[in-house]
């Protein structure tokens, strides 16, 4: 009997050791997927199965040879940063899923986390605080907090996780009505705000030339729903009116970036030592521009990480250009969105609906020259 149990025990031990060895080599097998270089691209060694499939690539903004990391390794790396910007393509399910997973993984390493959101505006911070404290329910959070229409599917899990674990949540964004006013009239309209309203947007605004302005100008020129095609007059030349509209649009964008940066800087001041996990549209943080560069003006000592989403063109052979490595500390490769319109498809009804919605948004204040009011202005890049 003793010999039998000894032999059985040895087999059991060998089995356990084999299982442990297999577990240890699993990451190596994942590493074998690796990235390969093909011309001007890095190619992932596997296909994406569906919209939720993704891959994280650590690049350190171009300082590190790109290599794949899993969510746990990513959290271990990012836990050393003061501020983590998770740039998103709004409504992409694969991105929203990974935001939740990363927050959970970070929290497993440190409970000193503050969740900061573009998706809630500064003036509704009391509403958000009431929800976190259990003084109101979710319906009032959504209604009075002016939550985005995809709150329940995209941001509810993050806010609920924060509530369940006692994490502060910051409504970081400038109010949409303030952005609309600046988009219509320019920064001069801020003088019409009440002192309370003025406090809802950043005190210092950096409407300067540079890489971000150039990037935003390219965005305006290329987007028909954001003023594209209107940068020039009918003869192809810029006019005073189109120049004014472009300046106001950029000022509105800067209002958003500076307000979020000021909100984050305030949190760093109030909660020293905590890690801030901030969500925003990737335009605000890609290339370490926008909100990131404005935060660096306010808090140059802060250690900042940027996660930049990269939509691959072919999910069967996911790839990204070498130029993308400078866009973030980490790249998140994601499944591509479906084509909005096929060639030759009528877009007129959709366009009318979009423009009508934007035309209904107007600033509640006006300047001396009412003829300069422009319906639908104030749209910015998310």
Mean pLDDT of 217-235: 61
pLDDT of residue 379: 61
Residue 210 in domain:
yes
Q: For 107-153, how does the pLDDT look when each residue is reduced to its tens digit (9 = 90+)? A: 999 999 999 999 999 999 999 999 999 999 999 999 999 999 999 99
Query: Is residue 134 domain-resident?
Result: yes
Average pLDDT over residues 271-280: 96
User: Would you state the pLDDT for residue 23?
Assistant: 39
What is the pLDDT, as a whole number, of residue 270?
Answer: 93
pLDDT of residue 21: 38
**Residue 371 in contact with residue 209, Cβ under 8 Å?**
no
pLDDT at position 215 is: 97
d(CA 367, CA 373): 8
Which structural domain range is residue 307 located in?
54-337+350-372
In whole angstroms, give the CA distance from residue 348 to residue 93: 28
Q: Is residue 58 part of a domain?
A: yes
Domain assignment present for residue 379? The answer is no
**342 in a domain, yes or no?**
no
Do residues 300 and 323 make contact, with C-beta atoms less than 8 angstroms apart? no
Tell how strand 41-44 and strand 35-38 pair up: antiparallel
What is the domain count for the chain? 1
Mean pLDDT of 280-306: 98
The answer to whether residue 345 sits within a structural domain is: no
Sheet of 35-38, strand order:
35-38, 41-44, 319-321
Percentage of residues of the chain with pLDDT beyond 90: 76
Task: Give the CATH number of the domain where residue 153 resides.
Answer: 3.40.50.11550
Q: Which is more confident, 252 or 3?
A: 252
Per-residue pLDDT, 249: 96
Mean pLDDT over all residues of the chain? 87
Residue 98: inside a domain: yes
Picking from 9-18, 162-171, 304-313, 357-366, which range would have the lowest pLDDT averaged per residue? 9-18
pLDDT digits (tens, 9 = 90+) for 318-373: 999 999 999 999 999 999 999 999 999 999 998 888 888 777 788 989 876 433 44
What pLDDT digit, counting tens, does each position of 174-211 carry?
999 999 999 999 999 999 999 999 999 999 999 999 99
């Amino acid at each position: 009997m003793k010999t039998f149990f000894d032999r059985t025990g040895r087999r059991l031990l060998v089995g356990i050791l084999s299982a442990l060895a297999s577990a240890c080599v699993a990451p190596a097998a994942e590493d074998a997927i690796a990235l390969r270089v093909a011309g001007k691209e890095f190619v992932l060694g596997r296909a994406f199965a569906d919209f939720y499939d993704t891959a994280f690539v650590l690049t350190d903004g171009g300082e590190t040879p790109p290599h794949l990391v899993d969510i746990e390794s990513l959290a271990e790396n990012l836990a050393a940063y003061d501020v983590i910007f998770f740039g998103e393509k709004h409504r992409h399910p694969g991105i929203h899923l990974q935001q939740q997973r990363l927050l959970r993984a970070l929290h497993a390493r440190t409970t000193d986390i503050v969740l900061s959101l573009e998706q809630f505006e500064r003036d509704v911070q009391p509403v958000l605080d009431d929800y976190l404290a259990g003084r109101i329910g979710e319906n009032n959070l959504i209604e009075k907090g002016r939550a985005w229409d995809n709150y329940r599917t995209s941001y509810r899990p993050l806010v609920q996780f924060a509530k369940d674990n006692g994490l502060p949540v910051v409504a970081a964004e400038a109010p949409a009505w303030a952005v609309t006013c600046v988009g219509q009239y320019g920064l001069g309209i801020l003088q019409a705000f009440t002192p309370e309203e003025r406090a809802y947007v950043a005190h210092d605004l950096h409407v300067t030339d540079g890489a971000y302005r150039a990037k935003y100008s390219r965005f305006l020129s290329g987007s028909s729903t954001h003023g594209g095609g209107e940068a020039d007059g009918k003869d192809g030349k810029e006019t005073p009116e189109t120049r004014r509209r472009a300046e106001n649009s950029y000022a509105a964008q800067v209002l958003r970036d500076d307000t979020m940066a000021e909100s984050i800087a305030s949190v760093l001041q109030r909660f020293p030592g905590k890690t801030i996990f901030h969500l925003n549209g990737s335009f605000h943080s890609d290339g370490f521009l926008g909100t990131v560069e404005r935060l660096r003006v306010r808090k140059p000592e802060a250690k900042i990480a940027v996660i930049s989403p990269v939509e691959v063109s072919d999910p069967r052979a996911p790839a990204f250009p070498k130029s993308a490595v400078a866009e973030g500390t980490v790249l998140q490769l994601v499944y591509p969105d479906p084509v909005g319109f096929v060639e030759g498809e009528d877009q007129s009804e959709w366009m009318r609906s979009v423009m009508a919605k934007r035309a209904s948004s107007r600033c509640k204040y006006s300047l001396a020259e009412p003829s300069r009011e422009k319906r639908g202005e104030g749209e910015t890049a998310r």
